[in-house]
Structure 1
Amino acid sequence: MGLLSWAEGVDNKLQMLEAQFKELDFAKDNLTEKFEYHSKTLASQAAQDEMWTAVLALRFTSMEMNILYSYVIEVFICLHTRVLAKLPDLMRSLPTLASVLRRRIKNKNIRVVWESVLEEFGLQDGDITALCTFFIAYGNKAEHYPANVRQMYIRDVTFLITNMVKNQALQDALLRAVQVIEKGKVVRASKEQKSPLKEFIPSFKK
């Protein structure tokens, strides 16, 4: 009986130790998860700070800034128009691109459509972050120039961007914005300008 009791006591202690180890493993996993989350948050914050620094450090003339702003706003119009084309039932509840960006976080359907639209245009979420930062920084003082006016002022906007924008993420985003709009011109021409975007942009002309 003494040996049996001893064995039972050892078994109980082993079970207690096993339970404690499980608790330690759970705590370790929980801490690791929190650490990874905070690391990602800090990295994201650092990237945002770097983007804001890059945007605010831009030194363009007002004319050059208006040209870049025009491409950015037209890309936003393209994206918003395309999302609404895929989600016609949500047209009233998604009046702006900002509403799409907000609601995509909790609405899976909107998120899937948004991601598919970005893919169609060859854009990524990082590009949108950069373009939104640019828009917020300069949107209140910039003016939209339609394509014919832009061509009067500058012939090679790509050179302007690569020469003046040093932050790679911002540079890539602006170059892609230009590509989307310039490529869109060819598409609209080939479709006899039946794109819904053609009806939307004129309201921005001065």
Structure 2
Amino acid sequence: MKFDLASFKEDFLTEEQDNLQALDGGLLKLEKKPADKEILNELMRFSHTVKGAAGMMGFKKMAFLAHVIEDVFDYARNNLLEITPKTIEILFEGLDGLNGSLEQIRKTDKEKNLDSLSKKIKAVTGVETQGIGKSKRSEGGEPEVAKQKLNVKKEVAKKVVGGKASLKETKAKQKEIADKIKLFSYIKVPVKRLDTMMDLLESLLI
């Protein structure tokens, strides 16, 4: 549902600005304490609010970017993603994008195209955000796709036995694991991620 922008614009702009400022402050705290669950929960709530308000006003690009950022915090609080300096950097870049879009809405009533930024954050962090609705969760409350990917990585790691292996053994294990990974297509692990899995295996064998 898209509200009449003229009627809700000022309230929307004020609320979003407040929440974006809160996100900025929270990221500064997270930079110092990257594993703090309380900070992560707080940041997730703020990004969720930004997403919801933008979505209700019809600004889908802004809402999706906020959702991607929200999922980063969600993955981190479920120990499926490590907050590193690179993660903080890309999150601040995302926050700049949200602020820039909000400013453009203030001036022109039109949002910025944030698609490339959303894709960049997804690529850097590995989150699998789709749409602006609630992301899928497992029964334990974990992001479903991320948990499945983690299980596949564990399966890869289990194949490495006894430290170093010969080149012949390595190739044999790679083929075995490649076949195994294909079986996981039903849990939405794309074939294009196979190279990443192989890189992981090779690094473990060194």
Higher relative contact order (CA 8 A, sep 6+): 1
Q: Which TM bucket (shorter chain)?
A: under 0.3
- Give the helix-richer structure, 1 or 2: 1
- TM-score with structure 1 setting the length: 0.26
